[in-house]
Amino acid sequence: MFSPLTQPGKRYRYAVLTVIAILSLVTLSSLYYFFSSDHKISRFLTAHNWQSYTVTEVASTEVPGLENLKKTTETSHIVYMPNQLYSRVTRVTLLNEAQDQLHLTITEYGRWEVSGGYLQVRPTHFNELKTGDENAFTPKQITAINQYFQLNAEQSNRIDILSEKAVLLTGLNTRSQVLNANL
């Protein structure tokens, strides 16, 4: 009279099991997206304001045209916003052979994204302000320094979360930088 699939009780059970299976798939897919590495890193970056500090001793032959540049100190404050825009303000202190200092404040903003475990930054705007001994470096040298920062601003770095307050950025040229969360 009734085939096994057309019995009223079994039909209801199959419908319930089908609904449960579909809901389970949707839930698992949502959890995978929410906890996937790229999404997790993006959420982590936008949850904090970041800071980095870098000191570079420069060899006299390392940068053509900048033979008198001996040391640079950079302090950067970075904000990654949920709309995939970022803002970075970098205070650069340049020291020449005579120990004269020139301070540059470089403001940059642009777009960022995380893809495949890499943080890709594409600046769209730069602005620079000079203070200190402006005679320590020639205008040509300052232009070369600005160009260097602009060229190095567009980056693709492997990003690793070190702790709840620090991330490690490793560039394709093996240059590494640690970003610390501002408290």
Q: Which tens digits make up the pLDDT trace of 84-127?
A: 999 999 998 888 888 888 888 889 999 999 988 899 999 999 88
**What percent of the chain is predicted at pLDDT more than 90?**
33
Residue 110 and residue 87 in contact, taking contact as beta carbons nearer than 8 Å: no
For residue 51, the surrounding DSSP H or E stretch is strand 49-57
pLDDT of residue 7: 63
| Element at 146 (helix H, strand E) | helix 139-153
Q: What is the pLDDT of residue 148?
A: 78
Both ends of the chain: CA-CA distance in Å? 74
Per-residue pLDDT, 165: 94
- CB atoms near residue 167 (< 10 Å): 22
Closest C-alpha among 165, 150, 64 to residue 104: 150
**What does the pLDDT read at residue 37?**
79
Reported pTM? 0.73
12-55: pLDDT as tens digits: 888 888 889 898 888 887 776 655 678 889 999 999 999 999 88
CATH topology of domain 41-181: Lipocalin (2.40.128)
